[in-house]
Structures are given as structure tokens and as C-alpha cells.
Chains A and B, each alone.
Chain A
Amino acid sequence: MPEKSLIDSFKRMIEENNITDLIDRYLYGGLNEKELNLFEEKLRSDEIFRQEVEAQKAVIKSIQNNAKEDLRNFIKGISLEEKPKNKNISLLVKLSVAATILILISIGIVLKDDIFKGDKPIISNIDTTKIIHDTLIQTIPENIKHIANIIPKDTTYNKLNQSENKIYKTIVVPVKEIGGNGFGFAEETTTIDYIFVRYIKSTIYKNNYSYFNDTLSIYTDNKKLKEIKIQYNRSKKIYYFIIDKKKYVLVNSEKIHSL
């Protein structure tokens, strides 16, 4: 039998017009053991109370159904297609482009003299990808730099056109966070990200890769596609991928590297 004080407090809860709260607490697991026993006892013995609980359950479900339907309609209204770029470039834009080209030509004429004088011009052909590449090289400990092809040096700019490329397959590969220092094949833990991997048949590149815009492209002429794993080392903040038991650092660049 429930204690008299609990029966009193239960009565008081109902008298104080907190019946909705009480039923909410029951439905969402917010009653303590004694309260729960008392509540269930009341459910068994009081038909009107049982109907009250059933009605509240039905109302809550109905409210959730309606809210879910509203959200579904809202989601269906979201367009997932990219807006086509406006091909009608305004006259103002055309004039701006023309003016910019003229300014650049003028700068080029001025700088040309400097170049032939032997001084390093202010505007130089800086290869930003190489800077990132070199920075990454510096972050790799000396004792593991011998691991083949961590960052290949023979890079080529991606100048393939559509006719030279044929995508075999695009897959989504989970990125696993790894322990250890990241260069050993340490144990993988949780999935923290996903990256697209495209296998591309190319007339120029047979065993290469590039990583750009969240997509890893593997250039191959072999129809049997090689399995790829992608890992992330949180302490070094570096992504790697593994193919043919070799490990490569993912550097965001349009360059094509050798595998």
C-alpha cells in the first residue's frame, strides 16, 4: 500500500491543477519510484483517470504528428538544385573586367624592366600549392620521411579535359580518427567525416591522385578498383589516405600527384 503522505501529495497534485504536468512526468519517465507506483495504482483503480492519461497521450502524439508534417512540408520546399549561373553579364561587369585587364597589362610593362634588371619583382609566380606542400613536409618527423610517397614531389597541374576523363565510380568513404602519432598504421576509432572518392579512367594519368573540393580522385587504368581507407590524425590535424598499403597526406590542391 502506498504511504498516506504520498496519497495526500498525489491528491494535492491533482487538486492543484497539475494533472497535465503529472501525466507528462509519467510519460517522459520523470516520476520517482514511489510516485510511479502510486500513479500506476491510480491508473488501475480509476477509469476516469486512465481515460485522462490516454487522452493526453493521444493529444501529444497528434501534436507531434502535425509538427512533423509541417517540418516535412517545409523540407520538401527546399530546393536542392544549384541556381544556374547568369550568363548575361552586365555591361558594367564587362567594363570592369576590361579596365582590370588594362591595369594588369600596365603593371606588367612596368615590372618587365625590373625583371631584366635582376631584382625580384613584386609580383612573382608564387606557387601556393608548393608552399602548403613544403609546410607539410616540414611537419613530418625526420625518421619517417623515408616512407614512400608520403607527399610525392612530381606534381602536375590538373589540365585534363572531359574527353580525357571517364569516371568509373564515385563512392563515399568514412574518415576514421586514428590514435598514435598518425604515421604508424595505428588503430582506427570513430568515423568523424566522409569524403567522396572518384575512380577516374584517364588517357594521361594511369596511377595518380588529386584531392580537391572534398573529393579524392584516383586516376587508374585498372578496372579492378583498389580499396581506399581515409584517416585523420587529430593531434596533427592531418588527413591521410591509404591505398596499396601506402599512406599519402591529403593536401587540398588541383595538382595531380603520383601514387
Chain B
Amino acid sequence: MTKKYQHLDENGIIEAIKNNDRDVFTQVYKKYYNVVKYFIIQNSGKPEDALDIYQEGMITVYENICNRTYAKQEGASLKTYIYSVCRYKWMNELRNRKKIPTVINDFEDKIFIEETTTEPMPYEQALNETLRQMGEKCREILKLFYYHKYTMEQIAIKLNYKSGNVAKSKKESCMKEAKRIAREIINRFI
């Protein structure tokens, strides 16, 4: 376990995850796996189900920390949130498999989980692959803004721009180029 992680309180851990600190995320990921694994195994799951659910659950937890959904929780610890998200995902999975969840020690928690799942568009894979070929700076700035939810000021610090306004102007030009590519690809599929 890293020294940095050991010295962080819960808020510090959340801030570190929000700042995309992969070391802290890794420690959190390792720490709570067993709780989720036991829950899934005791509720009709296999160890490989536990791992799949935990991986997807931790992605949702990460996204909900970044988009401030996690901040809506009152009093619930990170451990509780992780457990609740994975539990929710496992219950959904059991329903999809047409299995009736038989949960020991079942309980109802009011947790906020934000998940948007939309049908993939026919051009989506081609666009994903093409946008991966964009310049590294552009990919990074758009990723930090639209996925990690950084502010322009945070992006300026992280990517060494003089100010938030400079970062914003760079983001604008990157988005223009990305949209030009997107329009071309979308038109091919119409």
C-alpha cells in the first residue's frame, strides 16, 4: 500500500480519484474487492461474475465521483457506495438472466447512481477509432473536459497552458476538427 494512500482520509481519497490519481484508485480498487466478491458469490454468482461486476461497478463509481453524483450521498462512505453500486449492477444482471434475486440480509439503500446507456449508433465504432487517431493534445483536452469533468483552469494546470482561456480556445479548435471528422463519418452511414 502506498504511503500517500495511507495518509489520506476519505475526502482526500475522493479528491485524489477526482484528480485521476491512478495509484489511489488502484489501492481503493484492491481494498474493496473482497466485500463485493463475497456478496456476489453468496447470491448465485461465480467468481468470474464478481470480477466482471466489480470492474464495471468501479468504472461507474469513478464516473459518478467525477460528475459529482457521488457528492449527493449523505453520510455513506466510499466503501458503502462501491458496495451499493455493485449490488445494484448484480441485481440487474440477475434480472437479465431471469433469476430471482434471493438476497440474504437484503436492504434498501437510497443511492444515487448515474448511468446512461443508449443504443450504439451504426457509425459509433468507426468514429471511436478515428478520433483515437487525433493529435495527443486534442485527445487529452477533450477527454479531460468531457470524461474526467475537469474545469478549464484545471486543464490549463495539467496540460501547461497559460490560462483557462487559452485551454478553452484550444478545446474549441480541437472540437471543431473532431466535428468535421464526425460529420464525414456520419454522412458515410446515412
Q: Do A and B come from one complex?
A: yes
Chain A positions within 8 Å of B, measured between CB atoms, are: 17-18, 20-21, 51-52, 54-56, 58-69, 71-72, 74-76, 78, 80, 169-174, 177, 190-194, 196, 227
Q: How far is the CB of A217 from chain B (nearest CB, A)?
A: 14
B105→A78 contact, CB < 8 A: no
The distance in angstroms between the C-alpha atoms of A190 and B76, with both chains bound, is: 7
The distance in angstroms between the C-alpha atoms of A58 and B190, with both chains bound, is: 14
A193→B179 contact, CB < 8 A: no
Given A51-B183, A62-B131, A80-B33: A67 and B79 interface contact (C-beta under 8 Å): no
Chain A residues with CB under 8 Å of B171's CB are 20
29 A-B contact pairs sorted by A residue (CB < 8 Å): A18-B172, A21-B168, A55-B179, A58-B123, A58-B127, A59-B142, A59-B178, A59-B179, A62-B127, A62-B128, A62-B131, A63-B142, A64-B147, A67-B148, A68-B147, A71-B62, A72-B55, A72-B59, A75-B29, A75-B59, A171-B42, A172-B35, A173-B105, A190-B110, A191-B109, A193-B79, A196-B34, A196-B38, A227-B105
Chain A residues with CB under 8 Å of B51's CB are 80
Beyond A51-B183, A60-B146, A63-B147, 8 extra complex contacts between A and B, CB < 8 Å: A71-B59, A75-B58, A80-B29, A80-B33, A170-B42, A191-B107, A194-B35, A194-B80
The distance in angstroms between the C-alpha atoms of A68 and B84, with both chains bound, is: 21
Chain A residues with CB under 8 Å of B182's CB are 55-56, 58-59, 62
Given A55-B182, A72-B59, A192-B76: A171 and B146 interface contact (C-beta under 8 Å): no
CB-nearest residue of chain B to A234:
B75
Chain B positions within 8 Å of A, measured between CB atoms, are: 22, 26, 29-30, 33-35, 38-39, 42, 51, 55, 58-59, 62-63, 74-77, 79-80, 83-84, 104-105, 107, 109-110, 118, 121, 123-124, 127-128, 131-132, 139, 142-143, 146-148, 168, 171-172, 175-176, 178-179, 182-183, 186
Given A59-B178, A193-B79: A65 and B128 interface contact (C-beta under 8 Å): yes
B59→A172 contact, CB < 8 A: no
Q: How far is the CB of B66 from chain A (nearest CB, A)?
A: 10
CB-nearest residue of chain B to A169:
B42
The distance in angstroms between the C-alpha atoms of A78 and B59, with both chains bound, is: 13
Chain B residues with CB under 8 Å of A62's CB are 124, 127-128, 131, 182
B39→A172 contact, CB < 8 A: yes
CB-nearest residue of chain A to B104:
A171
A76→B55 contact, CB < 8 A: yes
A191→B147 contact, CB < 8 A: no
Chain A residues with CB under 8 Å of B109's CB are 174, 190-191
Q: How far is the CB of B152 from chain A (nearest CB, A)?
A: 10
B30→A78 contact, CB < 8 A: yes
The distance in angstroms between the C-alpha atoms of A56 and B139, with both chains bound, is: 14
B105→A171 contact, CB < 8 A: yes
Chain A residues with CB under 8 Å of B127's CB are 58-59, 62
The distance in angstroms between the C-alpha atoms of A213 and B129, with both chains bound, is: 47
